Amino acid sequence: MQTSNQIPGPPGHFLFGNLAEFKRNPLACMIAWQRTYGDLMRFKLGAKEFYLISHPDLAELALIQQQEDFVKIYDANKPNGLALILGQGLVTSSGDLWRKQRRLIQPVFHRSNVYTMLPAMAAACHKLMAKWDVLPPDATVNIADEMLRLTVEVITQTMLGTSVLEQIEQIAPALEMSLRFAAKTAMNPLRPPLFIPTPDNRRFMRARRLLDELIYGIIAQRRANSAGNNDLLQMLLDTEDPDTGEKMGDRQIRDEVLTIFSAGHETTATALTWTLAKNPETLSRLKDELDKTLGGKTPDVNDLDRLTYTKAVLEESLRIRPPVGITLRKVAKDTPLQGRSLKAGDIAVFCIYNMHRHADFWEQSERFDPSRFLTADKRNKAYMPFGIGHRHCAGTHFALVEGQLLLAMLLQKYDFQLSGDDLPEMEMVVTVKPVGGLPMRICRLGSNSAGN
């Protein structure tokens, strides 16, 4: 059996390993390393060993068949990465707490329940379009920012029965800052601990306080007036532990609410942003389908089923620009993986981005081609935008329904054109997004494609 030392990888600095190169551009490093060293390679950040896994068979072995040996990286007693913001919510918790909370929260995301949220999603989109309608013709907007505001409105209205758009100018930078900080700490063991008041640490603490105030404020407001609500927040407030009869504590409710808020808007905003930046032929075929199927109206549940090309564009967009580019696990004990031996305590990085472009699984993998998802059997084991195994995305249906609905509404009413010649570079800050946003010209289409 090959030991971890024999797994190929780049040479590195004796103290810092590959940190300098990795810090400059993690995604570019992972793409280049897979090309040079293959589907299972190792690298070092400081003293910490990482394995980069870019083959779906290895991902399936680790995340499904050997899931007990590959555990979430977060430790409740020593929070790092996303757990610094999200505490013990669904994304960052493990063991019995995670199992209990997942069982509790999952029904909110069942297909039939998500369908009841369609009117609230559509209302959020109408609100955005009303704002755009008073812009000068051919105005240029930062679509990444606009999609973020749209998906923030969707997630808060559907899950928390409220809007935070009035505070968005404070919330968006606080979230962005915290996510950047979390991404850096997760992959950089040499960062100073939070109790050392470096400027970065202080900025992070300030941002986290702002998010705390927001979420605790929403919880308090609901406690004061809970009549007629049956959303996620109400369910978290009402649930009693079947064994103890106790209600969930405010801290746990805060963690779950902030988790669903964060996991549920950045990801879909990024997916919509990249999709709207697609080539004119794709967008024109999309519009044809929308015109024929909807004739200007807002789609309902049955329409969504018939919008097969719209769905295929979204799916292909999630392949070529997966919003979640990697997922991380800690190796729980010395573990064999397909003839290689991985060491306890090391970190496995499952690179969704590389798998989605793996030449063994995708023909012309760099080409954007929605027809990959129009065939009767479109399954491909190298496709995993929502992760795989027991920790796969809880919001998969929500995201697909939301994505399809919002795309259908926006593209019926506006034309979107890149304001520069090329797409901006990508960067990975938890999600894989355009560096500096995505400026686009939006032009309102004729009045018979009203998207009412």
Q: How far is the CB of 297 from ligand HEM (least distance, A)?
A: 24
Around Cβ 216, how many Cβ atoms within 10 Å? 15
Q: What is the DSSP letter of 159?
A: I
Segment interacting with ligand HEM (CB under 6 A) among 40-48, 181-189, 235-243, 390-398? 390-398
Closer to ligand HEM by CB, 272 or 286: give it. 272
Q: Based on the number of CB atoms within 10 Å of its own CB, is 222 exposed (0-12), middle (13-18) or buried (19 or more)?
A: buried
User: Contact between 394 and ligand HEM (CB under 6 A)?
Assistant: yes
Q: Which residue is nearest to ligand HEM (CB)?
A: 395
Tokens of 290: 């929308």
357, 366 contact by CB (below 8 A)? yes
Q: CB of residue 102 vs ligand HEM: minimum separation in angstroms?
A: 5
Alpha-carbon distance of 288 to 155, in angstroms, equals 29
Q: Residue from 264, 299, 325, 370 that binds ligand HEM (CB under 6 A)?
A: 264
Structure tokens at 248: 């969930």
CA geometry: angle 108, 264, 213, nearest 5 deg: 100
Stretch of 29-37, 301-309, 321-329, 415-423 contacting ligand HEM, by CB under 6 A: 321-329
In whole angstroms, how close is the CB of 327 to ligand HEM at the nearest point?
4
Question: Nearest-CA neighbor of 53 among 33, 73, 69, 67?
Answer: 33
Residue in 141, 84, 123 with CA at minimum distance from that of residue 255: 84
Residue list 156-175, contact with ligand HEM (CB under 6 A): none
Member of 164, 393, 418, 440 binding ligand HEM (CB under 6 A): 393
**Of positions 325, 385, 434, 451, contacts ligand HEM by CB under 6 A:** 385
- Close Cβ partners of 263 (under 8 Å, ≥ 6 residues apart): 90, 91, 393, 394, 395
- Which of 299, 323, 370, 434 lies at the binding interface for ligand HEM (CB under 6 A)? 323
**Residue 324 touches ligand HEM, criterion: CB under 6 A:** yes
Size of the site for ligand HEM (CB under 6 A): 23
Helices (H) then strands (E): counts for the chain: 18, 12
**Does residue number 398 form part of the binding site for ligand HEM (CB under 6 A)?**
yes
Span from 38-46, 259-267, 301-309, 340-348 in contact with ligand HEM (CB under 6 A): 259-267
Of residues 368 and 398, the one with the C-beta less far from ligand HEM: 398
Least distance CB 232 / ligand HEM (angstroms): 9
In the set 42, 44, 391, 433, which binds ligand HEM (CB under 6 A)? 391
Closest CA to 31 of 437, 345, 432: 432
Residues in contact with ligand HEM, shown as a per-residue x/- string from 195 to 224 under the rule CB under 6 A: ------------------------------
Instruction: Give the footprint of ligand HEM on residues 30-69 (CB under 6 A).
Output: none
Q: Which one of 74, 204, 274, 386 is in contact with ligand HEM (CB under 6 A)? A: 386
Nearer to ligand HEM, 165 or 388 (CB): 388
- The correct pick among 125, 144, 218, 263 for binding ligand HEM (CB under 6 A) is 263
CB of 162 to ligand HEM, least distance (A): 15
Nearer to ligand HEM, 248 or 449 (CB): 248
Contact 413, 450 (CB under 8 A): yes
**3 state DSSP class of 443:** strand
Q: Which is nearer to ligand HEM, 9 or 395 (CB)?
A: 395
Which residues in 92-131 contact ligand HEM (CB under 6 A)? Answer: 102
Contact between 439 and 413 under an 8 Å Cβ cutoff? The reply is no
Binding of residue 90 to ligand HEM (CB under 6 A): yes
Task: Check residue 327 for interaction with ligand HEM (CB under 6 A).
Answer: yes
CA contacts within 13 A on the Cβ side of 98: 16
Per DSSP (E only), the strands in 310-355 are: 326-331, 335-337, 340-342, 347-351
399 interacts with ligand HEM by CB under 6 A: yes
**Shortest separation between residue 329's beta carbon and ligand HEM, angstroms:** 7
Q: Is 271 in the site for ligand HEM (CB under 6 A)?
A: yes
> How buried is residue 237: exposed, middle or buried, by Cβ count under 10 Å (0-12/13-18/19+)?
middle
Cβ 283 vs Cβ 291: under 8 Å: no
Give the single-character DSSP code of 63: I
C-beta separation of 398 from 264 below 8 A: yes
Q: Which two tokens stand for residue 210?
A: 């702002």
For residues 57 and 72, is the Cβ–Cβ distance under 8 A? no
Query: Which one-letter DSSP state was computed for residue 14?
Result: T
| Interacting residues with ligand HEM (CB under 6 A) | 90-91, 102, 259-260, 263-264, 267-268, 271, 323-324, 327, 385-387, 391-395, 398-399
